[in-house]
Structure 1
Amino acid sequence: MLQVLPALVTGGVERGTVDTAKALAKAGWVSYVVSEGGPMVRELERAGAKHFTLPMASKNPLVMRRNAERLEALIRELPVDLVHVRSRAPAWSARAAARRCGVPLVTTFHNAYKAHNWFRRLWAGPMAQADHMVAISQFVADYAHQTFGVPRSIITVIARGTDLAWFDPARVYPDRIARLAQQWRLVDGLPVILLPGRLTRWKGHAVLLRALAELSRRHGKQDFIAVLSGDSQGRESYRAELEQLIAQLGLDRCVRLPGDCKDMPAAYMLADVVVSASTEPEGFGRVAVEAQAMGKPVIATDHGGARETVIPGETGWLVPPRDARALADALEVALGLDADRRLAIAERARRHVAAHFTVDAMCAAYIRVYTDLLFPADAR
């Protein structure tokens, strides 16, 4: 089994790849991964998978052609029985190599890839040209069928899995929470509103800031701390825009921009409510699921994968995109929860994640897809 992706740095695609590789090795499969490499390679190889380094993130046609030749050689030499590609750029090379070698190809749509012009449609095309396609949500599955014409008969929905051993409130010790609270300069007694996610415009930071300003006007005070935690990834001009907006809205004292957070379970433990304010639909949305796994109420935007992960009124709330007033309304409700209601939401949220969004369930579903392709029921 060979998985192909751009790199093994960080993110949902990378985490899913490593988790699947671990499960394959544990189940007795020979598991290979090809990427440009990164810090997650060590974890992958400790689990018993083998990594090969190729420039799979490149969008240079000449490099992509060479990648196809290298992948073809690997598939024949190892040998490989099935190829699974998880991103658009490497899909061009992986599809060509798999076809030449006559092995099945699986793709995973990790988002509703844009297809508003001919080039975008062409660029994502190889992801739709597989023997089987996995979608990380029903939203993505419907989009792939309607936009790229992928037959529903070859689509399987497999939600991203959350590691409940890592996102477990009982395993986050107080010293981790205290250390992060100090780093974020939190104030005792003030509730914490957390928006995790890299600093990019479509994550909706500005919508949250305007909602916070609305809350401040309603109550005549700023009795909360908001943490916008995420790496700028070189987008310093966008960070500067956010800092300017914070100043314009008079939120300097109550908003933190601490950068990347390496201990997300501790971050969720500090939060009284977790916000996902994305202005564009997310294919899945890890934040909402991780927060629920930690027993935290979630406010997410009412589109995309969030409609499948958040149960309105039970584990959180869904609000219209770009609607700061509606977000302020939901924040007011969330921050006003009494202890009993908060506990009830926490219990429902953890049960919800355990029932639908675990790593074990995700990996088992992937292995079923691979097995069905390699050993069709009518041939057994």
Structure 2
Amino acid sequence: MSSGSSSYFRDGTAHPLAGRSVLQIVPDLDDGAAARTTIEIAAALTLVGANAFVAARGGSLVSELQARGGLFAPLPADAKNPLTMAINVERLARLIKAERIDLVHARSRASAWSAYAATRILKTPFVTSFESSYAVGGPLALRYNFVMTRGDAIIAGSAEAAHGAAHLNPAAKDKIHVILGGVDCRVFSPKSTPPARVQAVRRLWGAPPDARVALIALGPKPAGDCKAALDAIRMLAEQIRAESSDAAFDVSSLRVIIGAASATATEIKEIDAIVADSGLQDIVQRGDIVSDPAAALLAASVIMAQSSNPAAFASLALEAQAMGAPIIATTGGAAAETLLAPPEVEPSARTGWRAPTGDPGASAIALSEALSLGATARERLSLRGRAHVERRFAMELMWEQTLDAYAAGLDAVRKPTN
């Protein structure tokens, strides 16, 4: 469904959600992909004249939500205790009635159970977000995850997630909307990122001006993701040493930066132990990539965004392409679906690389190709990536798609059942 919502953001045309009140429920508003997306949708709702409520435990981004027009409602939405979840049903029911909420969007499973009960009692339209990891697991896990297929509209984070939702609940098939995400192309823009910022990041990393930098992004299982990436880098290093003078570049010119800002103290110890065992200590170090993410993406020669979690790195893949940075994503994951790569397109049309998780050989090949790009080939890849994101994943398009899903949820409840 597409209502052409982007025109509503530009010219003030009355949107179907104008005057409506929408409640999003997210575990917390600390810095993270779910919280950021929640705030973006709150801003979009405000722009079309809707009231944008967000229920969450709290977090560092509450003030940003409010600055962009959102209304914060404290709720222990991250609670998984059955008693607290049951109490949340009554809390949400009171909130829905008091604020005359027209639609509720649950972005996590625990909160979805509470929201599902409250919305069924009050006959309020209900929307859920479904990730591909919800479609796997044992009988108890799948029963718990099943609530994410009970929405009047279901937002799937990837085509793979949509397939999983339909398999878990065939009756949900026609309610699914695939939305891969969006990126602010004004923030993530090479033209908006002065060379001085990029140079500052490289100095912080200790990377010489002529060094090739492989940036490793870590997912929900950082130790495993780190080991898989370093296995690929070790294979590439061995290949380069074997080729000697025929190699495209020397191992000594390679630097590997591990972005471990979100890792716990225990996970950092595990990562450091993996680095020590890898034999790559001379070229690998942990580095800051969150202080200036746009500059960090430009400072890297390639980004390795590979994870055993298929939902990981969708936002990072979009940001990297918007910056024109070469990126390697996990085959079959949400991030990979945002890329143009063979066999869907010719190699000359690629905007990134895909490699299966757990296959260091395939990752090493992709890494070698990305690091061996000449200046002209790198510039062409950069321009393709930027154009691809602007055409298909600009933030305004994600706003439009999500608000269309909300409108579909409202329509589904209004329609009489046969």
The 5-angstrom pairing of residues 278-357 of structure 1 reads: 278-282=307-311, 285-312=314-341, 313=347, 314-357=350-393
Q: Could you list the per-position Cα deviations for residues 321-357 of structure 1 after superposition, in whole angstroms to 9, with x for gaps in the alignment?
A: 2111221121111111111111111111111111111
Matching of residue 242 in structure 1 with residue 271 in structure 2: yes
TM-score (norm 1): 0.94
8 Å Cα contact 2:313/2:335 also seen in 1: yes
The 5-angstrom pairing of residues 10-25 of structure 1 reads: 10-25=31-46
Partners of 1:11 and 1:159 lie apart in 2 by 16
The 5-angstrom pairing of residues 84-123 of structure 1 reads: 84-123=105-144
2:353 aligned counterpart, secondary structure: strand
* Equivalent residue number for residue 256 of structure 1: 285
8 Å Cα contact 1:72/1:97 also seen in 2: yes
8 Å Cα contact 2:303/2:327 also seen in 1: yes
Partners of 2:77 and 2:117 lie apart in 1 by 14
8 Å Cα contact 2:85/2:113 also seen in 1: yes
Amino acid at match of 2:375: A
8 Å Cα contact 1:198/1:230 also seen in 2: no
What is the CA-CA distance between 1:149 and the residue it aligns to? 3.2
Partners of 2:42 and 2:266 lie apart in 1 by 38
Mark the runs of 5 or more structure 1 residues left unpaired by the alignment: none
8 Å Cα contact 2:185/2:394 also seen in 1: yes
Amino acid at match of 1:229: G
What is the CA-CA distance between 1:260 and the residue it aligns to? 5.8
What is the CA-CA distance between 1:53 and the residue it aligns to? 0.5
8 Å Cα contact 1:114/1:120 also seen in 2: no
Given candidates 189, 214, 229, the residue that maps to 2:259 is: 229
8 Å Cα contact 2:127/2:409 also seen in 1: no
What is the CA-CA distance between 1:249 and the residue it aligns to? 2.6
Q: Name the Cα RMSD after superposition.
A: 2.0
Given candidates 155, 159, 162, the residue that maps to 1:141 is: 162
8 Å Cα contact 1:291/1:298 also seen in 2: yes
8 Å Cα contact 2:146/2:168 also seen in 1: no
8 Å Cα contact 1:114/1:121 also seen in 2: yes
Partners of 2:36 and 2:45 lie apart in 1 by 14
After superposing on structure 2, the runs of 4+ consecutive aligned residues of structure 1 that deviate more than 3 Å are 375-379
Partners of 1:152 and 1:144 lie apart in 2 by 7
Mark the runs of 5 or more structure 2 residues left unpaired by the alignment: 1-21, 242-250, 342-346
1:213 and 1:222, CA in 2 relative to 1: closer, same or farther beyond 3 A? farther
8 Å Cα contact 1:297/1:346 also seen in 2: yes
TM-score (norm 2): 0.85
8 Å Cα contact 2:222/2:263 also seen in 1: no
Given candidates 161, 165, 180, the residue that maps to 2:186 is: 165
What is the CA-CA distance between 1:315 and the residue it aligns to? 0.9
Amino acid at match of 2:378: R
What is the CA-CA distance between 1:82 and the residue it aligns to? 0.8
1:249 and 1:48, CA in 2 relative to 1: closer, same or farther beyond 3 A? closer
8 Å Cα contact 1:64/1:92 also seen in 2: yes
Deviates more, 1:167-176 or 1:98-107: 167-176
Q: Could you list the per-position Cα deviations for residues 153-183 of structure 1 after superposition, in whole angstroms to 9, with x for gaps in the alignment?
A: 1111112111111111111123322332222
1:268 aligned counterpart, secondary structure: helix
Amino acid at match of 1:323: D
* Equivalent residue number for residue 73 of structure 1: 94
